[in-house]
Chain A
Amino acid sequence: MTHTRLVLANLGRNKLRTAFTGGAITLAVLLVCILLTMPAAMDRLLEDIASDVRISVHNKAGLVYSMPGSFTRKVRNIDGVAAAVGMVWYGGAYEDGGKVTFPNFAIESEHVGAVYPDYPIEKEELADFVRYRDGAIVGAQTMDKYGWKIGDRVTLKSTIWPVDLDFRIVGRIDNPQSPHFWFSRTYLDEAMKAKLGQAAGFVGTIWVRAADPSRVNSIMLAVEEMSRNSDAEAVAETEKSFFQNFFGSLEGFIRIILLVTGLVTLCIIFIAANTASMNVRERSGEIAVLKAIGFARRFIFGSLLGEVVVLSTVAGAVGVGLALGFAGLLQSLAGGDGSLGPLGGFIITAPVLVQGLFLSLFIGMLAGVVPSFGAARKPVALALHEIF
């Protein structure tokens, strides 16, 4: 007979209730671990797809507005800029029905290699892209979706330009998450001249590669300074923040996650506290007798609280284990084919594990403290009078 034996025996008293409460805590900790991992996973995703040295420049009014074509050259001349490439949205539809199913841009093909040296594109394919005026470079996602191969010819019908263009696929961006379809700006301009007598003189987005990360801020300032008071005021963003806009405000997202996490925790504390007070009430006779035969208040308090804390910590550890298993499963599913996209980057970090364990400890403490204290504090004579 030991203190530990007493606490453990009490946990086994109502096995179903212990299992339900433990299960609720396990699920809550699992959920919280997953929620806490979400922002980190997204951050990692951004790290993956976005470079430190690329900057996007677009019209301050929004991504759909354009800037004068001459702007690209000016940006290229800013101190610290290694390369810049202008692109414009073509809005071409491949499928019948005129729906745009992948992003396609007319781009200054001769600058692509300099701005995207990190992209997995074969050197010869890049050279072909520059050489053939109707050449297109396509991301693996779109290539695989339509079963295209290098050398294939495809036609895109533009939803915004008055010209439909035929392309020869000359290269592949070998990243399973890349949907892009790029073709030469010259090809678009020539088609427009043939059709309307003149080419469009504007550019949609300019992507800039800084010579090194320390130059990024000064380049962004210079771009905005340069465009101020012109009729197309421009903003510059790093590639990371550019993508963050697609995800919505990451900060707001994190705040919501924290809020949900807090509510889940609170909810589970109430559930566990309810169990604890039910236990205390059912055992009031025994507790009164224990006190009468000389167990001090701190012993009663300690063993009741210990019971809840042991339960919640064990349940929390199981939850953390499940979260690890879940992340491992996602990764092995995502392994190689990338069809799970960002989910493959779902990695439960050590801090999240520690937080999960701490959380379960915290749940146990908070849930147990009030009922245990109440039971411990009640005068013995009163407790005996109430039960006999």
Chain B
Amino acid sequence: MEKNKKFELWTVMTIVFFLLFLLILVYPMFGILKQSLYDKEGALTLANFSKFFAKKYYTNTIINSFKVTIVVTLVSLLIGIPLSYFYSFYRLKGAKVIFVVSILCCMSAPFLGALSWIMLLGRNGIVTKFFLNVFKIRLGSIYGFKGILLVQALKYFPLVFIYMNGAFRNIDNTLIEASANMGCTGVRRFFKIILQLSMPTVLAASLMVFMQAFADFGTPMIIGEGYRTFPVEIYSQYLGENGRDYGFAAAISVIAILITALVFFLQQWATGKFRFSISALHPVEKKPAKGIGGFLMHLYAYLLIFIGFAPNLYIVYLSFVNSDGAVFKTGYSFNNYRLAAKKLLVRSINNTLTLGVGSLIIIIVFAVIVSYLVVRRSSPINHAIDTMAMLPYIMPGAVVGIALVMAFGSKPFALTGTMTIMILNLVVRRMPYTIRSASATLMQISPSIEEAAISLGASKLKTFARITVPMMSSGIVSGAILSWVAIVTELSGSIILYNNKTITLTMSTYVQINRGNYGTACAFAAILTVVTILSLLIYIKVSGSEDDIKL
């Protein structure tokens, strides 16, 4: 019985990535856990946790987060599923526009909506003023729960829309016809058949929305005001308006991780109850949307994407309105851009591109290698690598940020304030998604194609580089575009790690909002929006189809 003892590339990769992930994923996570269990003097204690649970003020942040996130998830489903249903089962006019604009809605930076809605409905918002001056009506406050709900629901319903489109596409037309034969049509059919069949996807979309909304830092920070959610709390404990308390920030982080992990496993359990697979041999034939029903469908779809996307356009518009940086005046000018230029605009753009491209390359390389190890070289260690890579999935961005500072801020690493730690943050946060999509792509590729290459005399490395990777590329590219946008608009982790040297467009926007310089902020935000729109349009142009975008 022989064993192949020769040096093997993939064995080396396994070892490298196992150690690397231990260092950049597991070590910071344990660092947080450790930190939460020590007091300022370095003694082992549960004081941080008891402090959290003792004060209503702190526990409320979690309850608040929970409340608003659950409502956001439900509302997103409620408005996203009908949109997807109309889109998938009827021939809507301008369906492409609906799709592309929806994607743009969910790709814009998380807090841009908040900024824009404040400009519209906030204390000095134009709609507020309009109603006050013309109708003498005082609109209710947009700040707090309502504002967070409005902004997040409008940002996340497109996620539901995109997920559900995939599910509805897989429903076989014969199932629809069969249920019609048995007298089940209309609304009843939608709930009994179509929605039931799509349940796994509904759950997947819910989880996605929940995770993102729960971890969102920018929106509640800007529009939440007194309604404190806990990403905001972690941040303020860490940056410490009342002195830094790492231990306490760590304790809140641990609690956050436990909650997201719980939600994650609950979702997995629920999905397990709907274990069936469908794939359509005869995809649903879209019906024409005619008559009053058709009109209402169009109205619904266009109104929704208009409300979702208009804030972005409004910000671009505002960026050209005359202002002194803080207060908008009459007339138009490039003042906002001029002021922004003085506030590190060039550096922000440079950093955004450098960090974006740099992290994207690293993420793609890692994702390709890890997915190969997991899919083609199944082994306990590679399985462990996969599990480690998924850890950030349950870590809210602010927690990742803090964990990285605690792990690498001091010697021997001393990475605070470097580009390295910024990139590290982006890589860690985005990698799980890219690995998932790369693995899914690789699983579609028959191993015999690689075997054919090897039997033709190609080395393993050459087979990987010349055959496997090119075949994965379409899947990688479609995942990369969303990664790119997510990286460029990342806020909640970077906010803890950035400094003046590593500031990015997103960070600059946030800083200006925070200082009340709404004019300047709009200039930054407008550039950010244009970058996002351009990225997506270039992608659609290059790939020739908008159907391939994967989340």
| B is bound to A | no
